[in-house]
Structure 1
Amino acid sequence: MQIPILADITIIFLFAAIALFICGKLKIPEIMGYLFAGVLVGPNGLRLIHAVEQVEMMAEIGVVLLLFTIGITFSLSTLLSLKRPALAGGGLQVAGCIAAFTGAAYLGGYELNTAVVIGMMAAVSGTAIMLNVFAARGEVDSLYGRISLAVSIFQDIAVIPMMLLVPLLAGQGGKFSDVGIILGKAVVVVVLLFAFARFLVPKLLYQVAATRSRELFMITVVLVCLGVAWMTSKTGLSLALGAFLAGIVVSESGYGQQALGDVIPFKDVFAGFFFVSIGMLLNPEVVLNAPVLTIISLILLIIIKFAVTGFVINIIGYPVRTSVLAGLSLAQVSEFSFILGAVGASTGILTSDQYSFFIAVTVLSMASTPFLIISAPHVAELVTKLPMPRAFRGGYLSEEEKEPEKELIDHIIIAGFGMNGRNTARAAREKGIEYVVIEMNPDTVRREKRNGTPIFFGDASQAAVLEHAALKTARVMVITLPDPIGVRKIVETARRENPTIYIIARTRYLTELEPLKALGANEIVVEEYETSIETFSRVLKKYYISHDEIEALANQIRTEIMGRPGEMISNSTEGTTFADMNIINITVPVGSQIAGKTVRDVDIRFRYRLNLLAVNRGTDTISNPGSDFAIQERDELMLMGEQNDADIFMQAIRQRQ
């Protein structure tokens, strides 16, 4: 039996595999490989694909699964916290971009109705490609990642009235009331989804999980994903937006991580079809016939959209650096623009040549997305050095920075108030250490101020902001941001403004270690490295390896990687400051000063705040030794207490007689 689409799928996978291999060797983003493969096999390339419609259907499934997995990583509370960038930011961004591009097109000689359609097509950004790049870089949950997502969600919803407006611009009639009806349906669907997330889906997935059938669980998750996406599409919303909302519904159930693990293999395959299908739309002849015009149009598109979007995000209260990062992330054009363009072409507003040219520019802008996001931190650093009014530097409508109510001396400055920042603040508060927090999310600042947290809005890479935090008199600065370039900038500024402050910086990857050391960080917490240390330490503890032996091995590894032990500290939230009472095994070294002394003489309980539970001596175990018990060399002491006290005791017993 002949299956024509099977040959097309094989060809797509073959060309995609070759392109991805080349991209990996050249260290080019993988999306470029998919797009290039699409150009080669598509109807405007080698014409190897015949079942184009079936490929596009699989591409739609890819978008649905991609947005579903992104939605799982969010929560309902996170989505609701994005209402300011979504409503104010998204509304102003769409209106501003439509106005800017309509004006530019009209001045370029287009008819007004054509210019308006071009403005609407250019105003929408590519959610799928942008989030795919964010996910690959671990930036979905960054502040600018969340802002970009919020604006993009508003754009997806705004496509509905845009599509209804295009026939009106062509003079083909229609009713503005249709927009209200569709938006009303959308509101009803969203309310129902929130109800499902709270009441129905958690109970459903619990019952399914209780069967312990992996196949049933996976089928149910896919059913929720496709079912919600289909339901939202029936109201006029996009499948992608519905899939994103479905992901949030599943994330609220408590089974999100298992669902994510089940769906990811399918997502990776079908998302590849989506990116290939985008490449298939590009006609190389359009670019080759007018290369200069195409490049100029692409550059103007990116610059205008970046400028409008960045300005809007700044005036709603976010600092310049965040505005630049989000602005560049949203500077490309969406796959939904193809739909708007197709409606415009079918109504006669756009000619076939105009539509083909816009498709070419759109695909090229989507291809530039990885490079725009990768370069965004460097562009942000350059922009922040430009002279500008203070109101714009910190966020035009943000809350004014306030001087600390009392003079701060010997305090901690915490840059960033995510999980690490909160734990550091909690530790300082419990131990009576003064601290102040610098945070770039105005909603977080407003909420935490109500809770009594000493926090203010600002970009910690700016010297003026650090001055408000009394950098000159602080003892320690802790930088917990997930943004590598931002962390570098903060370390550089803090070290320049206060050469003596002790800087502890967090980073995700070992490659950031040397740059941060060179800029002046005293200690660097590398997440992937410290996680590995913590993992093997816990494994060895289960085999009753003594704490000092584990610590010696950890220091040996640190020395091999760092050049000296103790350079990095663990960022684990367990047992760092509020250590639970641990069982710790410590071996008495040969020649130790406590060898031959009694438990009373060493004064383990009161001097070191540790309880001696037992002593392993050779093959014997002495439980609960008395105060007259004499400690000998090579005794393994089983102690109970806090880790910090055990570390002090271990240093003491290493001293020789």
Structure 2
Amino acid sequence: MSILNEVAVFLIAAVIAVPLFKRLGLGSILGYLAAGALIGPSGLGFVGKPEDVLHFAEFGVVLFLFIVGLELQPARLWALRRSVFGLGLAQVALSAAVLTGAGMLLGLSMKAALIAGLGLSLSSTAIALQLLGERQQLTARHGRESFAILLFQDLAVIPLLALIPLLSERPGDTGGGGQGILLSVLKVVAVLAVVVLSGRFLVRPAFRLIASTQLQELFTAATLLVVVGVALLMNFAGISMALGTFLAGVLLADSEYRHELEADIEPFKGLLLGLFFIAVGMSMNLGLVIQRPLLIATCVVGVMALKGAVLFWLGRPMGLMLQGRRIMSLALAQGGEFGFVLFGAAASAGVLDRELTEQLVVVVSLSMAATPLLLTLHDRVVERQLRRAVPAEYDHLEDAEQQPVIIAGFGRYGQIIGRVLNMLDIGFTALEVSPEQVDFLRRYGNKIYYGDASRLDLLRAAGAGKAKLLVLAIDDPDASVRTAQLVRANFPQLPVYARARNRAHAYRLMDEGVKLLNRETLLSSLEMAFFVLQGLGFDEGRARHIIERFRKYDQELLQKQYAVYQDEEKLIQTSQQFREELRSLFEQDNRPQTQAQLQENGEDNAPKAPPPRQP
């Protein structure tokens, strides 16, 4: 089959499989893997030689790590050093020890069990980071710790590959003894020095020169050249290409071209990373699975269970919450792409026989395919069952009646109010229904009670009958309205200061008699509009007057629309009338003064077009 035909097969398989699996809620990665298994040698056989495709598609992982590096400035990377060399080392060492022991119990020799344990201790950087990124958890605590572990694993590939010749029984495979290892280390240090120095003193000036040409395609070509060049250097030194390009990305993370570099690389990364997952699916020997289903299934389950248990246990001393520990252990429990490299090198050196190598490759491939499925099951089954399980006992509020303020909901909104009150030494009782949030805030010294503010007994225990006011800062609109209903029915004398997520939420709160409410994004948006007006040449007093006038008019509209908010046609009509009235008001009152104000500030500072009309 010609290259063009193979490209068409890859594209057709991806376009069909990935949307289907996304529609089923199984994620894009599982779709790519299934597409690869279908068109590969063990499936329909449309494409052969998956190892060639995999070797080329690994460049997608290289580009992926380059983008990750662009988003991680050197200072942030330095802050991760303890997690990288502490948690990362512990994970590789403990996982390798446990898996090596399991291999020896299954009858493998010491050397074969050691290589298998070390290879299986590595996780898939591409799959783990992609899954965490899709879930928007890379910046969460467990996401950062997972990234640190993966970074150490990439570093560990170098000494692991150097270990294989030492275990080989073939003459001449010792890699030159201590002198050979020393030369390899010196080569690695030299190449890393070249990358760091060129990134600082060569690449940035070169990008400035290329950017001055204003040729977008030239900038894209230069970006790809940097990635390819660093990858070739790393390959020459025997270092992980992904690790090298990650380092290059970190060195460019605080440059002025960071966002443009990321935008140029992103399309290539997406295509090649998808091709990498397809190649992994193609490399699965389904025939071996059919021949030995029980053995392969036992190995896959055993590897992921043992490795996941180690990760779950390590999450505890790192202070991760239970949910974070579960997600980290599932996201990193699979084998990784570097396992293919390690097992291949070990087979070439005679440390592993061909049959065992094929079994290990299948185990790694299936574990990679199982990871997205396990995370999906975790979200749909485990998390759901935990929510339905008997909830933890709410806190007893012994001294809460002495506090004049009750804050229901202590997330980002309620915490700011609490900090202001705390600064003025005004006591308050904070109620939060999320046990994870309560545990997290208590670690920082916050006094907060675990409890559901929509329960009458807890409100009474919190002192709602004697409190001066209640701040309703619950994030969930339904829970917020239920709490407002409860307060109105049982504590009618208690003033409620409510947070509304939007106008619809505000109308529902107004139905419950809440008069003092604040739409959470309104004031911050108006403050930004104030700065925008100043940037357009309005003086501070004039800009503040315009913003205040808009705020009052919008508040009046809120009251008017409340009477018809359940009638969509009338709601649209009143919104249109509001825009016209406001536009007419400013045209009559403000526009002449606006033009004069802009002229006073000079033609260079004024926009060429008239000031934009208020929406």
Tell me whether the two structures share a fold, i.e. TM-score over 0.5: yes
What is the rounded CA distance, in whole Å, between the counterparts of 2:321 and 2:257 in structure 1?
36
Q: What is aligned with 2:442?
A: 465
- Residues 465 and 6 (structure 1), Cα distance of their counterparts in 2 relative to 1, 3 Å cut: same
Correspondences of 1:422-433 after superposition (within 5 Å)? 428=419, 432=423
What is the rounded CA distance, in whole Å, between the counterparts of 1:180 and 1:435 in structure 2?
65
Correspondences of 1:164-313 after superposition (within 5 Å)? 164-172=162-170, 173-174=174-175, 175-176=177-178, 178-179=180-181, 181-313=183-315
SS at match of 1:44: coil
Q: Is the 8 A contact 2:124 2:368 kept in 1?
A: yes
Q: Is the 8 A contact 2:26 2:373 kept in 1?
A: no
Shift of 1:187: 4.3
The reply on whether 1:162 has 2:160 as its aligned counterpart is: yes
Correspondences of 1:403-482 after superposition (within 5 Å)? 428=419, 432=423, 460-462=437-439, 465=442, 469-472=446-449
Q: Is the 8 A contact 2:454 2:482 kept in 1?
A: no
- Residue by residue over 1:556-609, the C-alpha shift from the partner in whole angstroms, topping out at 9 and shown as x without a partner, is 6975999999786229977669986643244988xx9xxxxxxxxxxxxxxxxx
- Residues 467 and 156 (structure 1), Cα distance of their counterparts in 2 relative to 1, 3 Å cut: closer
Q: Is the 8 A contact 1:615 1:623 kept in 2?
A: no
The reply on whether 1:569 has 2:520 as its aligned counterpart is: yes
Q: What is aligned with 1:12?
A: 10
Q: What is aligned with 2:331?
A: 329
- Residue by residue over 1:338-383, the C-alpha shift from the partner in whole angstroms, topping out at 9 and shown as x without a partner, is 1111122223332222112111111111112223444557768999
What is the rounded CA distance, in whole Å, between the counterparts of 2:375 and 2:259 in structure 1?
27
**Which deviates more from structure 2 when the two are superposed, residues 307-316 or residues 158-167?**
307-316
Q: Which runs of 5+ in 1 are unaligned?
A: 387-406, 437-457, 473-489, 507-512, 523-551, 593-613, 626-657
In proportion to residue count, which structure has more helix? 2
What is the rounded CA distance, in whole Å, between the counterparts of 2:244 and 2:279 in structure 1?
21
Q: Is the 8 A contact 1:202 1:252 kept in 2?
A: no
**Which deviates more from structure 2 when the two are superposed, residues 113-122 or residues 374-383?**
374-383
What is the rounded CA distance, in whole Å, between the counterparts of 2:325 and 2:219 in structure 1?
41
What is the rounded CA distance, in whole Å, between the counterparts of 2:509 and 2:67 in structure 1?
35
- Residues 208 and 315 (structure 1), Cα distance of their counterparts in 2 relative to 1, 3 Å cut: same
- Residues 521 and 209 (structure 1), Cα distance of their counterparts in 2 relative to 1, 3 Å cut: farther
SS at match of 1:251: coil
Q: Is the 8 A contact 1:427 1:578 kept in 2?
A: no
**Which deviates more from structure 2 when the two are superposed, residues 102-111 or residues 65-74?**
65-74
* Counterpart residue type for residue 115 of structure 1: A
- Residues 616 and 121 (structure 1), Cα distance of their counterparts in 2 relative to 1, 3 Å cut: closer
Picking from 103, 106, 110, the partner of 1:105 is: 103
Q: Is the 8 A contact 1:197 1:252 kept in 2?
A: no
Shift of 1:623: 9.3
Q: What is aligned with 2:125?
A: 127
SS at match of 1:269: helix
SS at match of 2:242: helix
The reply on whether 1:350 has 2:301 as its aligned counterpart is: no
Shift of 1:206: 2.9
Picking from 555, 568, 573, the partner of 2:503 is: 555
- Residues 357 and 185 (structure 1), Cα distance of their counterparts in 2 relative to 1, 3 Å cut: same
What is the rounded CA distance, in whole Å, between the counterparts of 1:145 and 1:205 in structure 2?
32
**Corresponding pairs, count:** 503
Q: Provide the identity percentage.
A: 28
Q: Which runs of 5+ in 2 are unaligned?
A: 390-401, 428-434, 463-469, 486-499, 532-539, 557-581, 594-615
- Residues 7 and 495 (structure 1), Cα distance of their counterparts in 2 relative to 1, 3 Å cut: farther
Shift of 1:209: 2.3
* Counterpart residue type for residue 256 of structure 2: G
- Residues 100 and 493 (structure 1), Cα distance of their counterparts in 2 relative to 1, 3 Å cut: farther
What is the rounded CA distance, in whole Å, between the counterparts of 2:257 and 2:313 in structure 1?
39
- Residue by residue over 1:127-186, the C-alpha shift from the partner in whole angstroms, topping out at 9 and shown as x without a partner, is 011111122222222221111111111111111111121232232434255445444544
Q: Is the 8 A contact 2:231 2:245 kept in 1?
A: yes
What is the rounded CA distance, in whole Å, between the counterparts of 2:147 and 2:15 in structure 1?
30
SS at match of 1:234: helix
Shift of 1:424: 7.0
Q: Is the 8 A contact 1:67 1:244 kept in 2?
A: yes
The reply on whether 1:141 has 2:139 as its aligned counterpart is: yes
Picking from 621, 626, 639, the partner of 2:589 is: 621
Q: CA RMSD in A?
A: 4.6
SS at match of 2:437: coil
Q: What is aligned with 2:562?
A: none
TM-score by length of 2: 0.69
Q: What is aligned with 1:80?
A: 78
Shift of 1:112: 0.9
Q: Is the 8 A contact 1:408 1:470 kept in 2?
A: no
- Residue by residue over 1:432-479, the C-alpha shift from the partner in whole angstroms, topping out at 9 and shown as x without a partner, is 45799xxxxxxxxxxxxxxxxxxxxx963439937952225xxxxxxx
SS at match of 1:266: helix
- Residues 238 and 586 (structure 1), Cα distance of their counterparts in 2 relative to 1, 3 Å cut: closer
Shift of 1:57: 4.1
Q: What is aligned with 2:66?
A: 68
Q: Is the 8 A contact 1:298 1:361 kept in 2?
A: yes
- Residues 8 and 558 (structure 1), Cα distance of their counterparts in 2 relative to 1, 3 Å cut: farther
- Residue by residue over 1:491-517, the C-alpha shift from the partner in whole angstroms, topping out at 9 and shown as x without a partner, is 8699999656757467xxxxxx57876
What is the rounded CA distance, in whole Å, between the counterparts of 1:561 and 1:286 in structure 2?
62
Shift of 1:81: 1.3
Q: Is the 8 A contact 2:142 2:324 kept in 1?
A: yes
What is the rounded CA distance, in whole Å, between the counterparts of 2:588 and 2:529 in structure 1?
34
Q: Is the 8 A contact 1:85 1:147 kept in 2?
A: yes
Q: Is the 8 A contact 2:70 2:262 kept in 1?
A: yes
TM-score by length of 1: 0.65
Q: Is the 8 A contact 2:73 2:254 kept in 1?
A: yes
What is the rounded CA distance, in whole Å, between the counterparts of 1:413 and 1:192 in structure 2?
56
SS at match of 1:333: coil
Q: What is aligned with 1:40?
A: 38
